[in-house]
Amino acid sequence: MKTKSPIFLFFIIFLFFSCNFNKRTDIDVSDVKIKDVKIKRYGKDLFEINPDNIKNELKRLAKNYKYFLDADLDDTLNIIQIHEYITDPKLIEIYNKSIKKYPELNNLEDDLTLAFKYYKYYFPDKKIPEVFTYISGLQYEYPVQYFDNILIIALDLYLGKDYIPYRQIGLPAYKIKRMEEEYIENDCMKEIAEVNFLQQEPKRTFLDEIIKKGKVLYFLDAVIPQTPDTVKIGFTSNQLQWCSDNEANIWKFLINNNILFSADYQVIKKFTLDGPFTAAFSKESPARIGNWLGWQIVRAYMNKNKDVTLNELMLETDAQKILTKSKYKPKK
């Protein structure tokens, strides 16, 4: 009889734990009925109008894009501003690059349709948003916006890490690496989670903040289960591995330095805001280590408390309760 290799045994163990973790979010949504997502391309329709007949063209577009064209289109100043926008050479160049990168959006429509099926499964009372795309002019603060059940995607903020203008406007490399097509669906669902569930949550302590971030990441586990963890949190595979390898050290550092219950925002932001790495650790570490740790705590909480629904998790504001009932123990 052949002896199984250590590598084979490791694979079996890894597969077992992976399946154990995923089974709460391994849901069949084939019977969930929603309308297929059809994205309305405001940016494309706007840049393709005839500038010489702009007033009439805008009034025609306004019927389908009232959220974008709600200004008085009989006001000359408004018309002039839009005319300057669609005839600006730099914006035309950005639009042309966007339309070349995304001549059609069938794959994104399919991805969002599936994500919204999961969303509807967990939150049957929630409405599925209308989805629009536009050209932001590289206004990088808002790649995705969600309000009034409208989801708006700035396609020019997903042109790929090699798009030179991103560097020319001073965006850091750690941000540019996430301006890829594979992040669009993730960013859409993340924005929905943050707007629907987290806007009213109090900001008190480090623990409150990382649990809040962890809930959003677990929400992504549930509604886009096929998406890699690297995309959900925006880490490289090496950074994600670093976190896993150093989980016990991270936890020990936070406890020994009295950070877990700190209400000092200057301390909190060092472990929760974006950046190249976490200064308290090595340059191999990612930024937002606290968010990753909160994710692990929330995952443990949901695995230990099978009766808690995703909706109940998202509405739970007692971070201490989540930590206690998670029985979280960092991997050594």
The tens digit of pLDDT for each residue in 200-212 reads 666 789 999 999 9
Q: Structure pTM? A: 0.91
Give the count of beta carbons closer than 10 Å to the beta carbon of residue 221.
Answer: 20
Angle subtended at Cα 327 by Cα 321 and Cα 332, rounded to the nearest 5 degrees: 135
Q: Establish if 95 belongs to a structural domain.
A: yes
Q: Are residues 208 and 291 in the same domain?
A: yes
Burial class (CB in 10 A: 0-12, 13-18, 19+), 55: middle
Give the total number of structural domains in the chain: 2
Q: Establish if 307 belongs to a structural domain.
A: yes
In percent, how much of the chain has pLDDT > 70? Answer: 92
Backbone phi and psi for residue 287, each to the nearest 5 degrees, phi listed first: -75, 170
Q: Are residues 245 and 302 in the same domain?
A: yes
Describe the chain by its helix, strand, coil percentages, rounded to 5. 55, 5, 40
Domain boundary among 145, 172, 195: 195
Q: Are residues 141 and 190 in the same domain?
A: yes
Q: Are residues 245 and 285 in the same domain?
A: yes
Strands, sheet with 144-147, edge to edge from the N-terminal-most edge strand: 40-41, 130-134, 150-154, 144-147
Residue 74's pLDDT band, with cuts at 50, 70 and 90, is: confident
pLDDT of residue 70: 86
pLDDT of residue 169: 96
Q: Are residues 84 and 191 in the same domain?
A: yes
Q: Establish if 79 belongs to a structural domain.
A: yes
Q: Are residues 183 and 47 in the same domain?
A: yes
Domain boundary among 171, 195, 219: 195
In percent, how much of the chain has pLDDT > 90? Answer: 87
Q: Establish if 63 belongs to a structural domain.
A: yes
Q: Are residues 266 and 301 in the same domain?
A: yes
For the record, the structure tokens of 109 come out as 């429509």
Q: Establish if 2 belongs to a structural domain.
A: no
Average pLDDT over every residue of 63-88: 92
Whole domain around residue 303: which residue ranges?
200-326
Q: Are residues 83 and 63 in the same domain?
A: yes
Q: Establish if 20 belongs to a structural domain.
A: no
d(CA 249, CA 16): 25
Q: Are residues 314 and 276 in the same domain?
A: yes
Q: What is the per-residue pLDDT across 285-308, written as a single tens digit (0 to 9) for each?
A: 999 999 999 999 999 999 999 999
Q: Establish if 151 belongs to a structural domain.
A: yes
Q: Are residues 180 and 44 in the same domain?
A: yes
Q: Are residues 53 and 175 in the same domain?
A: yes
Domain boundary among 178, 195, 212: 195
Q: Establish if 22 belongs to a structural domain.
A: no
Q: Are residues 45 and 189 in the same domain?
A: yes
Angle subtended at Cα 95 by Cα 140 and Cα 129, rounded to the nearest 5 degrees: 65
